Amino acid sequence: MELQTFFYSALVEFPAAFIILVTIERFGRLYPLAGSNLVVGAACFLMIFISQDLHWLNIVVACVGRMGITLAFQMVCLVNAELYPTFLRNLGVMVCSSLCDLGGVITPFLVFRLMEVWQGLPLILFGKTS
């Protein structure tokens, strides 16, 4: 069952790559970034209220959230390279990339500690920050 869930989660990334290309061209960069962050936050908050018995609904909401975070991450990578002036671009992208990697290292420990308090607490934290 876990392998199926992982497969669905990975499968969602393909349409996200094409969706971001279409939405950037039509709507610019601001609206797709804001919309994808709203989708991720809504998916995190919605996951708290879904019963574990409804496994298919958990998978669907998690995949929608995964698609939103893929869109948001691709947008951040694109906007990050355009954000800095030319003489600071390499340094700015490197610092942001390093902080992103640091967040990826810290997050599992944070989730583990928060889940000891309450199962939904990591979802609330990530939903609020997105």
State which H helix or E strand residue 69 sits in.
helix 55-83
**Alpha-carbon distance 83 to 120, whole Å?**
35
**Alpha-carbon distance 130 to 115, whole Å?**
19
Query: What are the tens digits of pLDDT across the range 116-127?
Result: 999 889 989 888
**Number of domains present in the structure of the chain:** 1
Q: What is the CATH number for 50? A: 1.20.1250.20
**Alpha-carbon distance 29 to 74, whole Å?**
11
pLDDT over 80 at 38, yes or no: yes
| Domain region containing 23 | 2-129
Question: pTM for the whole thing?
Answer: 0.84
Query: What are the tens digits of pLDDT across the range 44-70?
Result: 999 999 988 998 999 999 999 999 999
Q: Measure Cα distances from 111 to 20, 53, 84, 88 in Å.
A: 29, 22, 32, 34
